[in-house]
Structure 1
Amino acid sequence: MSSRSDSEPDSEPDRAANTAAVDAPNEKVADLVTQPAVPNGMLERISMDPTQGANFATEPRRELTQAVRHLIDAILTRDDVTDEVLRDAAIATEDLAAQIAGSPHEAKARGRRVPSERTHGDYLTRSPIVGQVNPVAPPLEWEVRSGRIFGRGIYHAAYEGPPGYVHGGWIALTFDEILGMANVASGNPGMTGTLKIRYRRPTPLHKEVTFEGWTEKVEGRRITALGTMSVDGVVTAEAEGLFVIIDPAKAWEYFGKARGEAAPAGVEEL
């Protein structure tokens, strides 16, 4: 657990060695929104439209997701429930899970079809941080304004680290997601190279948390993004991330090849 109080000194986490070459001098982020330094076609594959994936994130699926969150919270917080009730709930939950999953053959077939239809926007509906249909997600609400990500949300019992406070790992995961989204919003998508979190003070559970993420600078293939997390106007954590723009060959290897996409022009298919 990495949340700590103000009385503890700020630490400088070791930075992972990242040798991505600096291909160009600093550029204004505003310029890069209209002239993104990303591989040709990459931005077309990535969407920040929160409505994308709506065919999957239907109202019944969102309702089910919220019900599962309530179940998780009850499991963690109710110590006055009898074993009989818990066993009955476990059986009922297993039955429902089997009903939704269908047969192993059906599940496998769906698993082959769905990934090829996913985009970044579709991913966001399933995200472990902002996913409307991911029971693991708090979820946090977000919006894009002037190329920055702004959002808010509440962490409940499932995210507890120190008693009464959010686990530092969840804070780090939140920043990784938010900074990555900010880079996409500014026209500079990249993959996380290093992520430094400074925990200013413990972030409480059950209180609204606000956050902001933005692209600070772009140097060739290297993107620096910053973010803050606050409660009642007081910053509880800050983040600095180094993201790396990947070339078309790597982009296809990571995200296209596994889904059966043909290699883009100029990329040799091994």
Structure 2
Amino acid sequence: MHISPTGPSATANEELEHQKAAITRLGHELRGLVEATVRTAASPETLHRVADGVRTITGQLTGRRRARAEIPEVDEFPAGTRIYSPVTGAGSPLAPPVKITPTADGLTGECTLGIAHEGPPGYGHGGMSAMLLDELMGRACVAAGMPGLTVSLQMRYHRPVPLETTLLILARVTGTDDRKIFVSGSITSRTDPDASLVTADGVFVAPDLHRARALFPGLQRA
């Protein structure tokens, strides 16, 4: 017979999961709104009407707002979920969002960029490629047990990154030197995974405990 957990901790976990589900649903709908906004050819009258409606909806998000350095309760920082991440966050209207899977020697991310991420017509903005790789390469450090901050990121753009195409982002730690972590990454497409669109080499540094506490005061609550 299955016995469900009871007590304050079980209730707190249920509330947290309920909050995550609500944030995820709102993020999904907002991404749809952003994509529709940058693709629409609606009349000025329609756009003004929609803008009024969006303002009204924004006004419903009342209550306490988290501070700049505050870590959301729904996050698992630094090694887990970042629900508002502009790269992986299910709750972010900016994110693709990237879905990450561990591999034998690193991580693989999968996402599809939309028109909201456009640089050259039909292709992703180069800054989006850098952001995707920076995120995955940083997470590769975490997966290897060495959370670090980006020191340098050398990008090489081989081919334009197509929009509305499933992309694969690969990242793996290639070496260490004291607190320095060396990471490589690449972006390809699912249809042609052997053809690199963008590649990168990065150097990350694992901050010492004093520096980490200064940078991330929210960690002190743990």
Q: TM-score w.r.t. structure 1 length?
A: 0.69
- Which residue in the other structure is 1:65 paired with? 27
Q: TM-score w.r.t. structure 2 length?
A: 0.83
Note if 1:243 corresponds to 2:204. Answer: yes
Aligned residues: 203
Q: Distance in 2 between matches of 1:175 and 1:241?
A: 9
Aligned ranges for residues 1-270 of structure 1 at < 5 Å?
55=17, 58-79=20-41, 81-100=42-61, 102=62, 106-108=63-65, 110-111=66-67, 115=71, 117=73, 118=75, 119-121=77-79, 124-231=82-189, 232-233=192-193, 234-256=195-217, 259=218, 261=220
- Structure 1 residue 89, shift from structure 2 partner: 0.9
Q: Distance in 2 between matches of 1:166 and 1:190?
A: 27
- Structure 1 residue 152, shift from structure 2 partner: 1.0
SS of 2:200's equivalent in the other structure is strand
- Alpha-carbon RMSD across the aligned residues, in angstroms, is 2.4
SS of 2:97's equivalent in the other structure is coil
SS of 2:108's equivalent in the other structure is strand
Q: Taking structure 1 as reference, are residues 64 and 187 closer, same or farther at Cα in structure 2, changes over 3 Å only?
A: same
Q: Distance in 2 between matches of 1:56 and 1:194?
A: 38
SS of 2:216's equivalent in the other structure is helix
Q: Which amino acid aligns with 1:62?
A: T
- Structure 1 residue 137, shift from structure 2 partner: 0.3
After TM superposition, the runs of 4+ consecutive aligned structure 1 residues lying more than 6 A away are none
SS of 2:163's equivalent in the other structure is coil
Q: Taking structure 1 as reference, are residues 62 and 261 closer, same or farther at Cα in structure 2, changes over 3 Å only?
A: closer
Q: Taking structure 1 as reference, are residues 241 and 261 closer, same or farther at Cα in structure 2, changes over 3 Å only?
A: same
**5+ unaligned residues in a row in structure 2: which ranges?**
1-14
SS of 2:48's equivalent in the other structure is helix
- Structure 1 residue 107, shift from structure 2 partner: 2.5
SS of 2:120's equivalent in the other structure is coil
SS of 2:186's equivalent in the other structure is strand
Greater relative contact order, per chain length (Cα 8 Å cut-off, separation 6+): 1
CA contact (8 A) 1:132 1:139 kept: yes
- Structure 1 residue 60, shift from structure 2 partner: 2.8
**5+ unaligned residues in a row in structure 1: which ranges?**
1-52, 263-270
SS of 1:86's equivalent in the other structure is helix
- Structure 1 residue 145, shift from structure 2 partner: 2.3
Q: Which amino acid aligns with 1:115?
A: I
CA contact (8 A) 2:98 2:109 kept: yes
CA contact (8 A) 1:154 1:205 kept: yes
- Which residue in the other structure is 2:3 paired with? none
CA contact (8 A) 2:183 2:201 kept: yes
Q: Distance in 2 between matches of 1:142 and 1:122?
A: 11
Q: Which amino acid aligns with 1:143?
A: T
